[in-house]
């Protein structure tokens, strides 16, 4: 059985993340989305909220599960028995960071292979941070996130 882990902040889970998860779920028997508890980022959603939103977004994908984690991603991979770590790659934004991450991951866990899926053309420009900024400024983000997430973003923005 092949297991892959797809780690990230997922603050919140976007249609770009969902696209990568769907495609990875076709490649592996089991995909574990790992939601990192304490990313070095200004968060809109706490850990439980990020997990809940991701769970709703992937509810129709039977071989996908969602877990939170605190430590190293390689430890999460070890815990869930993953052979592969999946990441998404947008052409303009991600290469250098993901390349460094792949090198570090290889150093920490030589048997864990990192696989980057190219972002689909319609999601190349989409980042969770950009959509949070648009939402805070009153823009509509419905086309960029699963419907449950859109509701949650609206509530957050209204309550600030």
Residues within the interface to ligand ADP (CB under 6 A): 8-10, 16-17, 20, 39, 87-88, 90, 94, 119, 123, 126-128
Q: What is the closest distance, in whole angstroms, from the C-beta atom of residue 93 to ligand ADP in the complex?
A: 7
Compare residues 37 and 157 and give the one whose CB is closer to ligand ADP: 37
CB of 52 to ligand ADP, least distance (A): 15
**43 vs 157, which CB is nearer to ligand ADP?**
43
Task: For residue 101, count CB atoms less than 10 angstroms from its CB and return exposed for 0-12, middle for 13-18, buried for 19 or more.
Answer: middle
Helix axes of 95-108 and 73-80: crossing angle, nearest 10 degrees: 60
Quote the least distance from Cβ 123 to ligand ADP, whole Å. Answer: 4
Question: How near is the Cβ of 91 to ligand ADP at its closest, in Å?
Answer: 10
> HEC string of 113-143?
EEEEEECCHHHCCCCHHHHHHHHHCCCCCCC
Q: Which is nearer to ligand ADP, 87 or 153 (CB)?
A: 87
Give kind and range of the element (H or E) at residue 36.
strand 30-36
Beta carbons of 3 and 28 less than 8 angstroms apart: yes
Q: Which is nearer to ligand ADP, 59 or 91 (CB)?
A: 91
């Amino acid at each position: 059985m092949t297991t892959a882990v797809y780690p990230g902040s997922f603050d919140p889970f976007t249609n770009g993340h969902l696209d990568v998860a769907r495609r990875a779920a076709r490649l592996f028997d089991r995909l574990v989305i790992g939601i990192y508890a304490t990313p070095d980022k200004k968060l809109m959603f706490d850990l439980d909220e990020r997990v809940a939103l991701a769970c709703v977004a992937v509810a129709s994908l039977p071989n996908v599960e969602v877990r939170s984690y605190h430590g190293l991603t390689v430890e999460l991979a070890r815990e869930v028995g993953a052979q592969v770590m999946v990441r998404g790659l947008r052409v303009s934004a991600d290469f250098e960071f993901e390349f460094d991450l792949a090198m570090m991951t290889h150093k920490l866990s030589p048997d864990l292979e990192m696989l980057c899926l190219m972002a689909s053309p319609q999601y190349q420009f989409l980042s969770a941070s950009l959509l949070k900024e648009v939402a805070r400024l009153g823009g509509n983000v419905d086309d960029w996130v699963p419907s449950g997430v859109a509701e949650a973003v609206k509530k957050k923005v209204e309550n600030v």
